[in-house]
Chain A
């Protein structure tokens, strides 16, 4: 049973380009969460999705960031017109159970560097 898979593991973009980060949850998990870890800071919640639905996006910046979790395929975090401040590690997690009771399983992260 493979764990949470994220790709790419490392991504380099120039300012103004788009970044797409993908996350495949653990088999059987339908709850996906995205977190961002800025250098020397703790992980911060961004968005929580279930299949085809955004449940909570209270941690997402209002502009340039979007997330989806289609019926088929991985969850995608999309960052348009990247800026240097977007450089961070982006972690995806999945859970089997409904919120507040289930253990989260994290992927190894996607590290975005904006030049």
Chain B
């Protein structure tokens, strides 16, 4: 069964710093990997989707990489801002039973200090 782990569980950084969030998964047979952002009491906002054939995706100050063979993904945030404060979730789609069945990590809670 796919297990997704995110490290660290929480992270505080001063505004302007670059940072890296880590995600690891146990089964490398994945279809895609998604990074989401979740604000307190809110839903999930998709940030980046990486297909299994891709190695990275970029959107603005965000860059996500994928190394299927080692079961790892990283989310790089450049020049962090207080508005980036949120919980970041990594989710892996293993395609079990032909369904879009995402396995989520428990997230990294990011606080960017002004």
Contact = CB atoms under 8 A, between A and B. Distances in A.
Contacts of A35: 102, 104
A31 B49 CA distance: 18
A99 B43 contact: no
Interface in B24-42: 31-32, 34, 36, 41-42
Interface of B: 4, 31-32, 34, 36, 41-46, 49, 51, 89, 91, 93, 95-107
Interface residues of A, number: 31
Contact of A100 (B32, B36, B91, B105): B32
Interface of A: 4, 6, 31, 33, 35, 40-45, 48, 55-56, 58-59, 91, 93, 95, 99-109, 111
Contact of B98 (A45, A55, A103, A106): A55
6 contacts: A41-B106, A55-B98, A58-B97, A103-B49, A106-B36, A106-B46
A31 B100 contact: yes
Contact of B105 (A42, A91, A111): A42
Contacts of A31: 100
A104 B43 contact: no
B89 A43 contact: yes
B92 to A, nearest CB: 11
Contacts of A99: 95, 98-101
B43 A103 contact: no
Contacts of A103: 34, 46, 49
Q: Which of A58, A59, A95, A106 has the most CB of B within 10 A?
A: A106
Given A42-B104, A42-B106, A104 B34 contact: yes
B34 A43 contact: no
Nearest to B98: A99
B93 A108 contact: no
